[in-house]
Structure 1
């Protein structure tokens, strides 16, 4: 499905943010499906009449079954500066995760050491450092409960592959629909109940605070959590 104006959460001369749909891939992979970065390039080229195409830099990524705000750079200068902002952890990322099990502690900090098996595209979390592992850290808090499902606000401090999914699973709170990491049933929609709700950072060129907020998917399930606010 092509990108339209309704998918755009934020845009200026330097950056563009999209409300990613669950199931979209950010960059090309072995499936051959059209990636989101190519869709955004086409959108920019059409909107601004660029017959030779548009520059677009991928600042960060979201897993395919995850929805929510994802940011791209429209210039090489913005890409370089945003890469530094993410590398230096000068961005606040907030996710909403729906889980079935209420965490034993309603608020906490999780630190694990992750190892990814690229052949299986599966990450394993360890409680102590292992050879070739990556330190992974996040903060979480219980936000509320609706219809037997619990909403967690998650603020990752590091940005590892599958980090939130495997770390929440490690405390017996697998994300709804994420049967790769312990939820009993997968989603027929190719999605899991993990949504990148908000990004906050200082603009790399304008040097002003930016806060980008992504509405929850309209799918008959997420709507029940729309009234919860980022804290």
Structure 2
């Protein structure tokens, strides 16, 4: 079924790169046998275009499985190296929309934390700066809208990541007391029955071959965003 819908999710493609929209719930790479993932689906798509040739496709950045939004893949080794360097150096602009339970104290600001990853639990947590293995995490946010829903406060945030840590947005917002709506991992006592309120809504980078600035945007489709749809 996914292979039939792949064209609808491709935002741009040339000889060097492929930009697409990842649906919520689909892993970027295989999580377990029998589960379709973005990498496999796109390789199948490319293979159908060039029968008899094994396509090259490299993952250069990721989104958590429940997160929807824009991803770029490399179709050549040169593009893979270039894009990876841009992302590692913070040269790529990564923008998100987030729906939180609770509202930040300021309408815009910066969260700076130190995060440590627990690989066994597949989680990260905010820790003191001098903790061994801790990495600095920085995000900028701006409140686009806020409202009361059944006596509970909700906020729609626009976020720009300055760093790219494991589960960074989810951990930092939870640590700030405004966890993401629908985040069962970092907000287990929160509202149930909704998608994760996080969407990679914008991505900017330099084309690995031409150096041209490439910008891509998408709107969230998850149920967590329904109450804010008119603000997007």
What's the TM-score, normalizing by structure 1?
0.90
Q: Which runs of 5+ in 2 are unaligned?
A: none
- Per-residue deviation at 1:196? 0.1
- Show the counterpart of 1:34: 36
How far apart, in 1, do the equivalents of 2:212 and 2:229 lie? 28
- Show the counterpart of 1:208: 212
Q: Structure 1 residues 73 and 226, CA, compared in 2 at 3 Å: closer, same or farther?
A: farther
- Show the counterpart of 1:172: 177
- Show the counterpart of 1:70: 71
- Show the counterpart of 2:15: 13
- Show the counterpart of 2:88: 87
How far apart, in 2, do the equivalents of 1:185 and 1:171 lie? 15
Per-residue CA distance 1:114-165 (angstroms, 9 max, x = gap): 1111111111112423111111111111111256331011111111110000
Count, aligned residues:
226
- Per-residue deviation at 1:183? 5.1
Q: Which runs of 4+ in 1 moved over 3 A?
A: 185-189, 223-229
Bigger shift: 76-85 or 146-155? 146-155
Contact 2:196 2:224 in 1 (8 A): no
- Per-residue deviation at 1:91? 0.9
Q: Structure 1 residues 25 and 18, CA, compared in 2 at 3 Å: closer, same or farther?
A: same
Q: CA RMSD in A?
A: 1.9
- Show the counterpart of 1:153: 158
Q: Which runs of 5+ in 1 are unaligned?
A: none
How far apart, in 1, do the equivalents of 2:40 and 2:70 lie? 17
